[in-house]
């Protein structure tokens, strides 16, 4: 919570003024029983009708001023709580943008989404309530006690006895429920997880006829959530009745003491009524406070969850001196090792190679051999554990990150597009590209035909690009990368959904690009990388062969096996 | 008008759910009545006691003690009733919500794929989770405050009437002002709340997209631009929220002001009545506290009404999902298909995802048991659609598909699908351990069988290298496994329960060819005697198929085995040769 409070800073003024006006309003409310006591004792006691009218006019006046102050307080509270959460939302979103790929892998999109939406909303309503009411209730309670002292010290001691008891009940319930609300939210996360999974895996689940067991799993999670909610609710529901009983016992004690004092002639009957009214005031205040505390407990639980996102350490260390920019699109790896967080072994070990600008490098190897990992080190999506990755002769850790990534275009394995139009998606590559550039990129990516028939650059793209087929999405993501006119282009197995004819045409077009980027092609298919200047053969994270096709055929056993598994028996080569 | 009608419909449905827990509700109302009665009775008692404390030497201690004892007992009873009411409300509300959620989820498994494919997952998730959650909050608040509120108003009216009808009239006359003020404000703020939820919806949609595509955002250095767009929405939301929250929050102080007017009114009239001897001071004090208690529920009820409206709106969205037409149920005379022979006949089938864009037209195919059928053709030609139809994920628009001579629409879906083993290009894994994933289709499989299946799928070696082997947890959506590893697990999943027919839709697209070769051998063994449908881009993997269907734009353009098709020199030959064209450095 402490970390989040920092975002409240610009609203410091509102945070002070809001509760302050609320306090003013509350203190006016405290005057009401006094005035009423005067009405009873002076007005009724002495039969002074004019006095009664005057006092009642005073009551209306007090109400009106209280209203004005309350409105002011509401405004400040709303402004502060909304502003506070707007800033938090900004901070969390901005922070997510800086997370490294491995951190994103670990956090998971669905949790990040709940934290950004429902958790922050809870924090907002909790803050607004706290600003308006949190100070008010204790003030009314203590104010009522003070007022009681002005009436009669002995009677007021009843208040002194009862208030700590009330506070103990309130805090005990709060302390008990706070961690439980966190558990409730976590349970809700799991329910959400099951739903998400059932949507994304609907085909497999139905194909295996597992609908019933999935429903059972969901019902299990759902039931567990319900039970926990009922259980937490049961305990937090104790707060009101217990305080209610305590206060009434207080009233009983108060009346008894009052009776003794009246008998002794120390106070009047009207003053006893006033004392009872103050006790009643405490009761109504505490009922509000109970609701408030339930809400605030929930908000605190949610705030903790939001904060935990912010506490994920920022992704990368950036060069402190602004960085240095490399010369060209050449790439060199010097004894690079890399292991994913929490993984048992290294994903890449001791990789060394050099690729001149404009060269084509093929990366081939078995499933899980480290191909994607190697490519991910070039735009510094991950940092090498040891060794150096150089782009344009400069260590990637010395490049300003944005500049580095601006020179490189990556086409990832998973073809992801964003809702909008084809044009908007392509402009991600380069914001100031002309339509002609876009069409050219589409043509190179073999995407011109279907984009034309879909309605041109303004054709809509649905969320995730789901209105295009897998192969079309891949070609659009390639076009997006080409729009950038990168010095370095990385295709991470991004032609897998294309049929052979399309892939071949695409590859020819890529090789004929006028600006000749350094081209990294990751593929499972030997055919895709045969023509490369240099082929890196990976196996279990090690480079077992580096060289061109004829060399590797002669010298690298693994490469030969891959090649023969694809071309063998046909004699095409 | 229409909106009000829809709201009524929703309310009816909610009430139907609530009715299932009517015992709890009845108990809750009873406890609410009891607690309200106690709460209201106490001021009467207090007033009575105060009347025994007249002045110095004029205090009747015996009467005071008796009164105080009664106060204590009534307070205890009231407290217990209050707690029971809250607990019963909790139970009822959370159970209603559980039922709604369970129904929504149950619906999910009966929805046609057309619906699921056509709606963003985030939207469906937010209906089942977020909307239901909002609904539960509203319902709970409604239960608790509406009952006690209404009962308190009625109760106080009765008590006040009993004490003094004249002053009661003053109270009754002034209170409508507070209601009017609340209604006026609620009416004005409704549109502000609507705007707020619109903006919020837009922002959530944007976030869902960016956060799931975060890696691409970073790869293209779009962080700043997306943050700018986000901030734009965020600022809009800030403005909308501030207005909505402020204007709605003036309700409370305003009604409180009106209440203080009521209080003052009672004070004047009461004091004057005491002067004329119509009322004792104790009664006046009781009356004042009633005036206080009487007005409070109006305050709360106006809040509850907005909350309930919001809850109903959310419930409406959930019910929309629940009421979505389910897929056609299995025919009443549907038969269970046991261990099919694997004779598949497709007759004159037409199908389109969108009526205006026909995809598959007049498709015919006959497959004998044990035959291997390969589907090839350019992207988007309808290969995967054929699979969707075979598995009955979608129903044909016209024509028919029959397995072993029975139209698949007359076979139970469950048994039809149980006869197919399917490996898709989309490598979905559930969160759970590797073992659970492999045993997905046959949870009762022994550990040895699981290992055997993994070995057959060539997944055993990488699984053994994982830190916890077969018990390694797989995160949401496969987590840290590579695409290829996931595909191997999907293959192992099918290897474990070998049904009579197989569908391999790009089953090995993410696996390197060396591993693929070995898997192909396992597949070959697996396919022996089983009717199989294979979709593949790598034509090398389907050379041995008995029938190769070459598809283009939803039609079969060529049909035959590899040799025949090559000889024919048509589209297949073109596709086949393009695999190698332009790649060879030496050509």
Nearest CA in chain B to A558: B514
One domain, residues A337 and A293 = no
Asked if A404 is an interface residue toward chain B (Cβ–Cβ < 8 A), one would say no
A526 belongs to a structural domain: yes
CATH number, residue A374? 3.40.50.300
Evaluate whether residue A323 is within a structural domain.
no
Interface of A with B in 545-564 (CB under 8 A): 548-550, 558, 561-562
B413 contacts in A (CB within 8 Å)? 206
Sequence-distant (6+) residues with CB within 8 A of A458 are A421, A422, A423
CATH number of the structural domain spanning residue A98:
1.20.1560.10
Return the pLDDT at A175. Answer: 85
Domain boundary residue, one of A279, A310, A341: A310
Query: What DSSP letter does each residue of A475-486 carry, written as one string?
Result: HHHHHHHHHT--
CB contact under 8 A, B101 and A191: yes
Q: How far apart are CA A18 and CA A26, in angstroms?
A: 12
Which of A207-216, A260-269, A449-458, B21-30 is predicted least confidently? A207-216
What does the pLDDT read at residue B476? 57
| Residues A186-201: b if buried by 16+ CB within 10 A, e if exposed | ebbbbbbbbbbbbbbb
- CA–CA separation, A426 and B517 (whole Å): 38
Interchain proximity B264–A238, CB inside 8 Å: no
pLDDT of residue B128: 82
Measuring CA to CA, which residue among B243, B206, B103, B167 is closest to residue A420?
B206
CA-nearest of A377, A381, A413 to A523 is A413
- DSSP 8-state secondary structure symbol assigned to residue B403: E
The most confident of A99-108, A394-403, B139-148, B167-176, by mean pLDDT: A394-403
- Which structural domain, as residue segments, surrounds residue B211? 2-322
Secondary structure string (H, E, C) spanning B264-304? HHHHHHHHHHHHCCCCCHHHHHHHHHHHHHHHHHHHHHHHH
Query: How many of the other CB atoms lie within 10 Å of CB of B245?
Result: 23
pLDDT tens for residues A26-83? 888 878 878 888 888 888 778 888 888 888 889 889 989 989 998 999 899 999 999 9
* Average pLDDT for chain A: 84
Which whole-number Å values give the CA distances from A299 to A125, A295, B308, in the listed order? 8, 6, 21
Residue A457 has pLDDT above 60, yes or no: yes
B314-335 burial by CB neighbour count: b if 16+ within 10 A, else e? bbbbbbebbebeebeebeeebe
Interface probe for B, chosen from A7, A37, A105, A208 (most Cβ of B below 10 Å), is A208
The answer on A181 and A213 residing in a single domain is yes
Q: B312 lies in a domain?
A: yes
B234 touches chain A (CB under 8 A): yes
Question: Do the domain assignments include residue B374?
Answer: no
Structure tokens at A12: 């410091």
Give the residues across from B242 on adjacent strands.
Answer: none
Cα separation of B25 and B101, whole Å?
20
Q: Residue A116: pLDDT band by 50, 70, 90 thresholds?
A: confident
What is the helix, strand, coil percentage profile of chain B, to 5?
65, 10, 25
Residue B338 lies in a domain: no
**Where in the sequence is the domain holding A364, given as residue range(s)?**
331-570
Tens digits of per-residue pLDDT, A521-563? 998 777 788 888 999 998 878 888 899 888 988 888 888 887 8
Alpha helix positions (H), A152-238? 153-200, 202-207, 211-236
Provide the residue count of chain B.
Answer: 587
- Choose among A375, A567, A442, A365: nearest CA to B583: A567
Give, in degrees to the nearest 5, the angle at Cα B548 between B547 and B549: 115
Q: Write the residue in B256, B264, B424 that is nearest to A56 by C-beta.
A: B264
Range 248-287 of B in CB contact (< 8 A) with A? 249-250, 252-254, 256-257, 260-261, 263-264, 267-268, 271-272, 274-275, 281, 284-285
pLDDT in tens, A201-256: 777 788 777 888 888 889 999 999 999 999 988 888 888 899 889 989 999 999 99
Please indicate, yes or no, if residue B418 is contained in any of the structural domains: no
Cβ partners under 8 Å of residue B344, min gap 6: B365, B366, B367, B390, B401, B402, B403, B501, B531
What pLDDT is recorded for position B4?
Answer: 62
**A401 & A499 share domain:** yes
Residues of B in contact with A62 (CB under 8 A): 260
Write out chain B residues lying below 8 Å of A132, CB-based. Answer: 249
Are residue A388 and residue A259 in the same domain, yes or no? no
Is A373 inside any structural domain?
A: yes
- Touching check for A530 and chain B: CB below 8 Å? yes
Mean pLDDT of A130-142: 82
Residue A212 CB coordination number (10 Å): 11
Please, which residues have CB within 8 angstroms of residue A377's CB and are 6 or more apart in sequence? Answer: A333, A336, A338, A348, A383, A384, A389, A396
Query: Of chain A residues 24-63, which have a CB less than 8 A from chain B?
Result: 25, 32, 36, 39-40, 43-44, 47, 49, 52-53, 55-56, 59-60, 62-63
A526 touches chain B (CB under 8 A): yes
Whether residue A413 is found in the same domain as residue A547: yes
Where is pLDDT greater, at B378 or A266?
A: A266
Specify the residue for token string 């009608």. B5
Residue A26: inside a domain: no
**A383 and A286: one domain?**
no
The Cα B379–Cα B381 span in angstroms is 6
The CATH number linked to B47 is 1.20.1560.10
Whether chain A has a CB inside 8 Å of the CB on B66: the answer is no
**Per the domain annotation, does A286 fall within a domain?**
yes
CB contact under 8 Å between A86 and B227, yes or no, is no
Straight-line distance from the first to the last Cα atom of chain A, in angstroms, rounded to the nearest whole number: 66
pLDDT for position B587: 28
Write the ipTM.
0.77
Copy the structure tokens of residue A426: 């392509």
**pLDDT of A571:** 38
pLDDT at residue A81 in the model = 92
A239 with A337, same domain: the answer is no
| Mean pLDDT across A185-214 | 81
**B49 domain-assigned:** yes
What is the end-to-end Cα distance of chain B in Å, rounded?
74
A330: which DSSP letter? -
* C-alpha to C-alpha distance for A355 and A255, rounded to whole angstroms: 93
Tally of structural domains, chain A: 2
> Which residues is A535 bridged to in the sheet?
A362, A547
Asked whether residue B415 is assigned to any structural domain, the reply reads no
Q: What are the residues facing B360 on neighbouring strands? A: B351
Q: Which residue has the tokens 């502000």?
A: B192
A window 268-297, beta carbon within 8 A of B? 268-270, 272-273, 276-277, 280, 284
Contact B111, B325 (CB under 8 A): no
3-state SS, B512-546, equals CHHHHHHHHHHHHHHHCCCEEEEECCCHHHHCCCC
Residue A283 falls within a domain, yes or no?
yes
User: Do the domain assignments include residue B37?
Assistant: yes
CB of B227 within 8 A of CB of A40?
no
User: A-chain residues within 8 Å CB-CB of B102?
Assistant: 218-219, 222
Q: How far away is chain B from the Cα of A329, in angstroms, using its nearest Cα?
A: 17
- Domain assignment of residue A28, yes or no: no
Beta-carbon separation of A219 and B102 below 8 A: yes
**Can you list the pairs that B454-458 forms with residues at least 24 positions away whose Cβ atoms lie under 8 Å?**
B454/B492, B454/B495, B456/B492, B456/B495, B456/B522, B456/B526, B457/B488, B457/B489, B457/B491, B457/B492, B457/B495, B457/B519, B457/B522, B458/B488, B458/B515, B458/B518, B458/B519, B458/B522
Q: Which helix (H) or strand (E) covers residue A547, if one does?
A: strand A542-547
Is A335 found in the same domain as A293?
no
C-alpha distances out from residue B473 to A346, B423, B478, B492, Å: 19, 21, 9, 16
The secondary structure of B455-505 as a DSSP string is HHTT-HHHHHHSTTGGGPEE-GGGTTS-HHHHHHHHHHHHHHS--SEEEEE
Identify whether residues A226 and A339 lie together within a single domain.
no
Q: Is residue B67 part of a domain?
A: yes
> What's the total number of domains in chain B?
1
Q: A207 to chain B: nearest residue by CA?
A: B417
The pair of three-digit structure tokens given for residue A107, joined into one six-digit string? 């956090």
Determine, yes or no, domain membership for A63.
no
Nearest-angstrom CA–CA distance, A430 and A438: 10
Contacts of B95 in chain A (CB under 8 A): 226
Tens-digit pLDDT string for chain B (587 aa) = 445 677 788 888 888 998 899 899 899 889 999 998 898 888 888 888 888 888 888 888 888 899 999 999 999 999 999 999 989 988 998 999 899 989 988 888 788 888 877 776 666 777 787 778 778 877 777 777 787 888 888 888 888 888 788 888 877 887 777 778 777 877 777 778 778 877 887 888 788 778 877 777 877 778 888 888 899 999 999 999 898 888 877 877 888 888 888 888 888 888 888 888 878 887 887 788 777 777 777 767 766 776 777 778 778 878 888 888 877 777 788 888 787 788 898 888 888 887 777 778 888 888 888 888 988 877 667 788 888 888 888 888 888 898 888 888 888 888 888 888 888 776 778 778 889 888 888 888 899 999 999 988 888 888 888 778 888 888 655 556 776 788 788 888 888 887 888 888 877 766 666 677 767 777 777 778 888 898 876 676 777 888 888 887 777 788 888 888 888 888 888 777 765 544 433 32
> Phi/psi of residue B342, each to 5°?
105, 30
Select from B355, B421, B353, B430 the least CA-distant residue to B390: B421
Q: Do A40 and B226 touch (CB under 8 A)?
A: no
CA distance linking residue B166 with residue B143, whole number of Å? 33
| Residues listed for chain A | 573
A117/A258 same-domain check: yes
A209 touches chain B (CB under 8 A): yes
B425 neighbors A470 (Cβ within 8 angstroms) = yes
Separation in Å, CA of B364 to nearest CA in chain A:
24
Looking at the fold, whether A116 and A241 belong to one and the same domain comes out as: yes
Shared domain check, A354 and A235: no
């Amino acid at each position: 919570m402490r970390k989040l409070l920092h975002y409240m800073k610009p609203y410091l003024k509102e945070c002070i003024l809001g509760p302050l006006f609320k306090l003013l309003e509350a203190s006016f409310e405290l005057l009401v029983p006094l005035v009423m006591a005067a009405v009873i004792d002076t007005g009724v006691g002495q039969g002074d009708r004019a006095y009664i009218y005057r006092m009642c006019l005073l009551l209306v006046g007090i109400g009106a001023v209280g209203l004005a102050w309350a409105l002011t307080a509401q405004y400040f509270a709303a402004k502060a709580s909304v502003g506070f959460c707007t800033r938090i939302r900004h901070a969390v979103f901005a922070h997510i943008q800086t997370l490294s790929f491995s951190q994103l892998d670990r956090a998971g999109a669905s949790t990040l989404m709940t934290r950004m939406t429902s958790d922050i909303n809870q924090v907002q309503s909790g803050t607004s309530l706290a600003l308006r009411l949190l100070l008010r209730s204790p003030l009314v309670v203590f104010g009522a006690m003070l007022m009681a002292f002005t009436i009669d010290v002995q009677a007021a001691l009843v208040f002194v006895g009862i208030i700590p008891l009330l506070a103990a009940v309130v805090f005990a319930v709060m302390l008990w429920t706070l961690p439980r609300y966190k558990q409730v939210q976590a349970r809700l996360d799991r329910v959400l997880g099951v739903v998400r999974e059932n949507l994304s895996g609907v085909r497999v689940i139905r194909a295996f006829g597992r609908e019933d067991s999935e429903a059972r799993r969901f019902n299990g999670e759902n039931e567990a959530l319900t039970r926990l909610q009922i259980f937490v609710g049961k305990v937090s529901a104790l707060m009101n009745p217990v305080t209610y009983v305590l206060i009434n016992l207080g009233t009983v004690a108060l009346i008894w003491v009052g009776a003794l004092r009246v008998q002794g002639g120390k106070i009047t009957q009207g003053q006893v009524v006033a004392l009872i009214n103050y006790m009643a005031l405490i009761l109504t205040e505490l009922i509000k406070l109970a609701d408030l505390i339930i809400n605030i407990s929930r908000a605190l639980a949610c705030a903790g969850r939001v904060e935990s996102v912010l506490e994920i350490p920022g992704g990368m260390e950036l060069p402190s001196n602004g960085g240095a920019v490399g010369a060209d699109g050449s790439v060199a790896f010097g004894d690079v090792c890399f292991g994913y967080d929490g993984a048992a072994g290294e994903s890449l070990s001791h990789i060394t190679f050099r690729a001149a600008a404009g060269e084509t490098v093929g990366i081939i190897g078995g499933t899980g051999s480290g191909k994607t990992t190697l490519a991910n080190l070039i735009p510094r999506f991950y940092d090498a554990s040891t060794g150096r990755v150089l782009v344009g002769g400069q260590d990637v850790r010395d490049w300003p990150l944005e500049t580095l990534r601006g020179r490189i275009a990556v086409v990832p394995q998973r073809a992801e597009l964003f809702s909008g139009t084809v044009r908007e998606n392509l402009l991600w590559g380069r914001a100031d590209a002309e339509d002609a550039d876009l069409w050219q990129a589409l043509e190179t990516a073999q995407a011109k035909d279907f984009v034309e028939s879909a309605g041109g650059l303004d054709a809509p793209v649905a969320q995730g690009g789901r209105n295009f087929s897998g192969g079309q999405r891949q070609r659009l993501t390639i076009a997006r990368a080409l729009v950038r006119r990168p010095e370095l282009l990385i295709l991470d197995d991004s032609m897998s959904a294309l049929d052979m004819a399309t892939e071949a045409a695409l590859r020819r077009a890529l090789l004929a690009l006028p600006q000749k980027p350094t081209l990294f092609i990751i593929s499972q298919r030997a055919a895709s990388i045969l023509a490369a200047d240099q082929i890196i053969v990976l196996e279990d994270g090690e480079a077992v062969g580096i060289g061109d096709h004829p060399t590797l055929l002669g010298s690298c056993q693994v490469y030969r096996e891959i090649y023969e598994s694809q071309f063998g028996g046909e004699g095409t080569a | 008008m229409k909106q009000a009608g829809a709201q009524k419909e929703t309310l009816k449905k909610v009430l139907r759910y609530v009715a299932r827990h009517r015992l709890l509700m009845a108990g809750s109302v009873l406890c609410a009545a009891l607690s309200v009665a106690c709460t209201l009775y106490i001021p009467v008692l207090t007033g009575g006691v105060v009347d025994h404390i007249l002045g110095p030497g004029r205090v009747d201690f015996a009467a005071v003690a008796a009164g105080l004892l009664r106060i204590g007992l009534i307070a205890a009873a009231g407290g217990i009733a209050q707690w029971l009411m809250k607990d019963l409300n909790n139970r009822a509300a959370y159970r209603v919500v559980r039922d709604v959620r369970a129904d929504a989820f149950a619906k999910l498994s009966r929805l046609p794929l057309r619906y699921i494919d056509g709606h963003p997952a985030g939207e469906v998730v937010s209906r089942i989770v977020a909307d239901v959650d909002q609904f539960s909050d509203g319902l709970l608040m409604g239960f608790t405050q509406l009952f006690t509120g209404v009962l308190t108003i009625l109760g106080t009216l009765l008590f006040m009437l009993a004490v003094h009808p004249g002053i009661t009239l003053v109270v009754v006359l002034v209170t409508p002002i507070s209601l009017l003020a609340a209604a006026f404000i609620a009416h004005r703020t409704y549109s502000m709340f609507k705007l707020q939820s619109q903006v919020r919806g837009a922002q959530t949609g944007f976030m869902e997209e960016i956060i799931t595509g975060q890696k691409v955002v970073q790869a293209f250095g779009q962080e700043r631009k997306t943050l700018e767009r986000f901030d734009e929405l965020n600022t809009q939301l800030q403005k909308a929220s501030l207005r909505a929250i402020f204007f709605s929050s003036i309700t409370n102080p305003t009604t409180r002001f009106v209440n203080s007017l009521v209080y003052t009114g009672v004070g004047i009239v009461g004091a004057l009545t005491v002067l004329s001897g119509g009322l004792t001071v104790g009664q006046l004090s009781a009356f004042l506290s009633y005036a206080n208690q009487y007005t409070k529920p109006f305050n709360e009820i106006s809040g509850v009404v907005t909350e309930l409206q919001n809850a109903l709106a959310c419930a409406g969205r959930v019910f929309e999902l629940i009421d979505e037409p389910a897929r056609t149920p299995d025919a009443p005379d549907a038969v269970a298909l046991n261990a099919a022979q694997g004779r598949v006949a497709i007759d004159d089938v037409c199908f389109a995802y969108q009526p205006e864009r026909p995809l598959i037209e007049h498709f015919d195919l006959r497959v004998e048991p044990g035959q291997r059928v390969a589907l090839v053709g350019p992207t988007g030609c309808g290969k995967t659609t054929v699979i969707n139809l075979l598995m009955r994920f979608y129903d044909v628009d016209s024509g028919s598909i029959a397995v072993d001579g029975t139209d698949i629409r007359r076979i139970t879906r469950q048994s039809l699908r149980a006869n197919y083993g399917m490996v898709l290009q989309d490598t979905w894994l559930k969160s759970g351990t590797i073992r659970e994933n492999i045993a997905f289709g046959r949870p009762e499989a022994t550990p040895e069988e699981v290992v055997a299946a993994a070995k057959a799928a060539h997944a055993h070696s990488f699984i053994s290298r994982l830190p916890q082997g077969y018990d390694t947890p797989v995160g949401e959506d496969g987590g840290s496994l590579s695409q290829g590893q996931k595909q191997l697990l999907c293959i192992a999943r099918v290897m474990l329960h070998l049904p009579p027919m197989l569908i391999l839709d790009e089953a090995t697209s993410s696996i390197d060819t060396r591993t693929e070769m070995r898997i192909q051998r396992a597949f070959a063994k697996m396919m022996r005697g089983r009717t199989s449908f294979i979709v593949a881009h790598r034509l090398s993997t389907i050379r041995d198929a008995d029938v190769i269907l070459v598809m283009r734009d939803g039609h079969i353009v060529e049909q035959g085995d590899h040799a025949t098709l090559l000889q024919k020199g048509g589209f297949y030959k073109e596709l086949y040769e393009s695999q190698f064209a332009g790649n060879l450095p030496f050509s």
